[in-house]
Amino acid sequence: MNGYEPGSLDNLLRKQGPEINPRHAGMSTVNHSPPYDTVLRGGTLIDGTGRRPYSADLALKGDRIADIGAFDSARTAAELDVRGRCIAPGFIDAHAHDDQACLEDPSMRAKISQGVTTVVVGNCGLSLAPLNNPPDLPEPLNLLGNPSDFRFSDFSSYFDAVDAARPAANVVSLVGHTALRAATMQALDRRATPRELGAMLGLLDEAMRAGAAGLSSGVYYAPGRAADNGELIPLVRKSSEFGGVYASHIRDESDLVLDSISEALAAARIGTAPLIISHHKCAGTRNWGRSAETLALLDKASESQQVSVDCYPYRAGSTVLDPAFVEEGIEVLVTRSRDYPGLAGRYLHQIASQWDCSEREAARRLQPGGACYFQMSERDVSRIIGYRSAIIGSDGLPRDPHPHPRLWGTFPRVIRRYVREQNLLSLDTAVHKMTGMTAQRFNITRRGTLAPGNYADIVVFDPSSIADRADFGNPKQPAVGIDYVFVNGQLSWGVGAAEAPGAGRLLRNRPAR
């Protein structure tokens, strides 16, 4: 394991070897610089590529990184002294559910405050489009919003709405397979007919032409469960025609996890799309330790196809409240309940004791609702986060009144827990997993790395103190140790940050065809 000793910045960087000379890193070493909007001086750059940190100044002009180097003097509107701090690309949340949140609360404070500058939405088969005023909104689509929030019959309309909202962070969107099913099928408890599949392909084609980044599925959930690979493969192939990825919330993350991974691998391989296994886990006490098997399967598959996983740094997951998910030895924390809103934030065993019933019966009474399930082992979580092709996603649910703390704390927690405290990851590797590697997976161009000409999505943080403060008892707490966040060159978090409007953009996938 390549890690760091706790303490000062010098200690955190000591194991990275000699400092890179700016002349040897393709950077400028100048005495007189052109006018810039902002210069960040004296920081340690972690450029998102995975290479070793180095000391340099970074100059911004408009929405781009103008130059990186050693500037003796610079004509600039603003200078920030960031000595003792790290400068990194803005973090990219590989697995978000901010589809509606970026419209109704464009400040996106939960994400910006932890250094996230881009979110990937439309995960787990769930997307706001292409659904327009559905008469019946099946769970778990309600994780995203109310029925009235689903008002977009195509992705072009949704993308226009995101542009108009001017969210604080950039937005990349996948197309949800469950949303496609709900838009084209009267009954979701069966496989699509050829006619219904044709309608789904038409909607997906429109979405990909509008700039979607790929297809996601959630065959784990009831509305998508009846779909087999005969339904999914043509959709994956359509996404692939536009350079899109296939992100899968697999059918089973517990006893049948290997079979479920194999099913997703087959869909991606035959559909010729890169595969991302969503929030990879081995759920349930009887499956703890099986990440050694699942990652070995992925290693073998990677010899012949592109495959990676996204993950979050917590033992607990969070989704809909379902009695079927309640099992002995697994704690359950209620995050929302339509009929008992005052019980959000309480543990299911406490509610069951109060009601003098079983936990499964309590869960049934609380439906519809949401919950955190403490279903993973820390050993599996660490092994998956350390996996060579794992990227980081929060899987946060912004509509929950008492959300999982991953919504506010995922990215600083990775650095605090797995770099500084456990020495599982080097700092440059952790940043790479949260920036450049993620940008590459989703074909997000000119973001995720620090280089002249790239968009100025930047986070400045103190590696010795950056930490999550959100926890399961108090989940809406901003992280500490984040000094500044820039989105497209605009200071969006930190002293002097603009209140509104947001600097984020809808990022459209535009592959050559």
* Per-residue pLDDT at 77: 80
Helix 155-165 × helix 194-210 angle, to 10°: 30
Q: Which residues contact 128 (CB under 8 A, 6 or more apart)?
A: 99, 100, 144, 145, 149, 150, 152, 158, 179
How much is the average pLDDT of 308-312?
98
In angstroms, the CA 406 to CA 317 distance is 9
**Euclidean distance between the first and final Cα of the chain, in Å?**
42
Q: Which residues are bridge partners to 92 per DSSP?
A: 118
In angstroms, the CA 285 to CA 283 distance is 7
Average the pLDDT over each of 41-45, 70-74, 380-384, 490-494 and give the range with the smallest value: 70-74
The pair of structure tokens assigned to 385 is 């986060």
In angstroms, the CA 474 to CA 495 distance is 25
Tens digit of pLDDT for each residue in 318-360? 999 999 999 989 999 999 999 999 999 999 999 999 999 999 9
**DSSP 8-state secondary structure symbol assigned to residue 19:** P
DSSP 146-164: -GGG-EESSHHHHHHHHHH
Compute the chain's Rg from CA coordinates: 22
Structural contact between residues 180 and 235, judged by C-beta atoms closer than 8 angstroms: yes
pLDDT band, very low/low/confident/very high, at 244 (cuts 50, 70, 90): very high
Nearest to 253 by CA among 180, 309, 177: 309
Nearest to 452 by CA among 24, 35, 26: 26
128: left (phi over 0), alpha (psi -120 to 50) or beta: alpha
* Per-residue pLDDT at 199: 98
pLDDT band, very low/low/confident/very high, at 500 (cuts 50, 70, 90): low
In angstroms, the CA 23 to CA 29 distance is 7
* Per-residue pLDDT at 14: 37
Structural contact between residues 494 and 159, judged by C-beta atoms closer than 8 angstroms: no
Residue 32: burial class (beta carbons within 10 Å; 0-12, 13-18, 19+)? exposed
In angstroms, the CA 104 to CA 509 distance is 24
* Per-residue pLDDT at 125: 98
How much is the average pLDDT of 315-319?
98
In angstroms, the CA 77 to CA 326 distance is 57
pLDDT surpasses 70 at 269 = yes
pLDDT surpasses 50 at 8 = no
In angstroms, the CA 16 to CA 474 distance is 36
In angstroms, the CA 275 to CA 248 distance is 7
**DSSP 8-state secondary structure symbol assigned to residue 286:** G
Structural contact between residues 458 and 89, judged by C-beta atoms closer than 8 angstroms: yes
DSSP 86-110: EEEEPEEESS---TTHHHH-TT-HH
Residue type, 470: A
Three-class SS state of 183: helix
Structural contact between residues 504 and 168, judged by C-beta atoms closer than 8 angstroms: yes
Q: Which residues contact 107 (CB under 8 A, 6 or more apart)?
A: 168, 500, 502
Tens digit of pLDDT for each residue in 26-54? 444 444 456 899 999 999 999 999 999 99
pLDDT surpasses 70 at 296 = yes
428: left (phi over 0), alpha (psi -120 to 50) or beta: alpha
Tens digit of pLDDT for each residue in 134-159? 988 999 999 999 999 999 999 999 99
